[in-house]
Amino acid sequence: MARITASVYTSHIPAIGAALDLGKTHEPYWQPVFQGYEASKTWMQQHKPDVIFLVYNDHATAFDLDFIPTFAIGTAASYAPADEGWGPRPVPTVQGHPELAAHIAHSVIQQDFDLTIVNKMPVDHGLTVPLSLMCGQPPADHFAWPCPVIPFAVNVVQYPVPSGQRCFALGQAIRRAVESFDEDLNVHIWGTGGMSHQLQGPRAGLINKAFDNAFLDQLIADPAAAARIPHIDYVREAGSEGIELVMWLIARGAMADVAGGKPPRVAHRFYHVPASNTAVGHLILENA
């Protein structure tokens, strides 16, 4: 059967993608950010998944205000990197896993989560920046990501966004769905976005290191408590865009300990301020 072996959590700041694409990773401003992911790239090579289930949000790219799905799963064979106004990132086309994605969609909807199913969408920095951070730039002679990816887009742009509780329960449903897939597949689930940041208004630039680090602690040790954090606490403490952290709870809900298994092992933890407007947070948790 398929099983989830690890979860990865990371911010997905567009400026990180630009720094990578423009060769700025060794500049003093960016060097500490990328240094924090060196261990992650090594870990990825040692723990290569068959499929990545990647939870992210679209930033007015594939979805405008004509359609605002709360939870959207990609069941396509491939997804093109989007042009977000500065030209598409020079990264590989994302290959999907339609069989597993369709299976998860079917199972999760039967577990009372009303997903939107998407067969055509470009993917923006929310999805490609985490891939770049974890996998590095693929070589020119084998220009591809290391494995298929199932994009899972969450509305965190228009309020109300789904609650932490709902996201945490959804992660549990995704875990059950993956484990009911007959093929032996090693699946990672990634939760992206955050950490504290606010991109708008006179309060733009808000960073809250104390909140972020307490969130990381709680996400590791007591995710059910982290899931009870109400929206307003994210907005007030972590900035209006800090609400993206609810997406981390989807990945955390899919870990074995939530279903009665052993606590996960913390393979890597990293935190840095700033990257552009944002606090960078990153965790890798392995199922025991």
Cα distance between the two ends of the chain: 17
Region from 47-55, 93-101, 105-113, 196-204 binding other proteins, contact rule CB under 8 A: 196-204
Q: Indicate the residue among 66 and 114 with the shorter CB distance to other proteins.
A: 66
Least Å from the CB of residue 111 to other proteins? 26
Q: Taking CB under 8 A as the rule, does residue 139 contact other proteins?
A: no
Helices 164-179, 246-253: inter-axial angle, 10-degree rounding: 30
Residue 215's H or E segment, with its range, is helix 209-221
x/- contact string, 4-33, with other proteins (CB under 8 A)? ----------xx--x----------x----
How wide is the angle at C-alpha 92 spanned by C-alphas 177 and 40, nearest 5°? 65
Least Å from the CB of residue 244 to other proteins? 12
Among 106, 231, 268, 269, binds other proteins (CB under 8 A): 231
Q: Indicate the residue among 23 and 202 with the shorter CB distance to other proteins.
A: 202
Respond yes or no: is residue 197 known to be catalytic.
yes
Among 39, 102, 109, 273, binds other proteins (CB under 8 A): 273
Least Å from the CB of residue 154 to other proteins? 14
- Binding residues among 63-102 for other proteins as defined by CB under 8 A: 64-66, 68, 83-86
Size of the site for other proteins (CB under 8 A): 43
CB-based contact 152:249 (threshold 8 Å): no
| Secondary structure string (H, E, C) spanning 219-286 | HHHCHHHHHCCCHHHHHHHHCCCHHHHHHHHHHHHCCHHHHCCCCCEEEEEEEEEEECCEEEEEEEEE
* Residue from 12, 97, 103, 125 carrying the catalytic annotation: 125
Q: Is 164 helix (H, G, I), strand (E, B) or coil?
A: helix
Q: Taking CB under 8 A as the rule, does residue 160 contact other proteins?
A: yes
Q: Which two tokens stand for residue 210?
A: 């104390």
* Residue from 197, 268, 272, 282 carrying the catalytic annotation: 197
Q: Indicate the residue among 140 and 232 with the shorter CB distance to other proteins.
A: 232
Q: Taking CB under 8 A as the rule, does residue 143 contact other proteins?
A: no
Least Å from the CB of residue 72 to other proteins? 16
Q: Taking CB under 8 A as the rule, does residue 163 contact other proteins?
A: no
CB-based contact 41:146 (threshold 8 Å): no
Least Å from the CB of residue 195 to other proteins? 11
Strand partners, 118: 74
Least Å from the CB of residue 229 to other proteins? 13
CB-based contact 265:288 (threshold 8 Å): yes
> Which letter, b or e, does each residue of 194-229 get, where b requires 16 or more Cβ atoms within 10 Å of its Cβ?
bbbbbeeeeeeebbbeebbeebbebbbeebeebbeb
**Whose CA is closest to 53, among 143, 155, 171, 156?**
171
- Which stretches of the chain bind other proteins, using CB under 8 A? 14-15, 18, 29, 59-60, 64-66, 68, 83-86, 157-160, 196, 198-209, 211, 231-232, 235-237, 240, 273-274, 276-277, 279
Q: Which residues are catalytic?
A: 125, 197
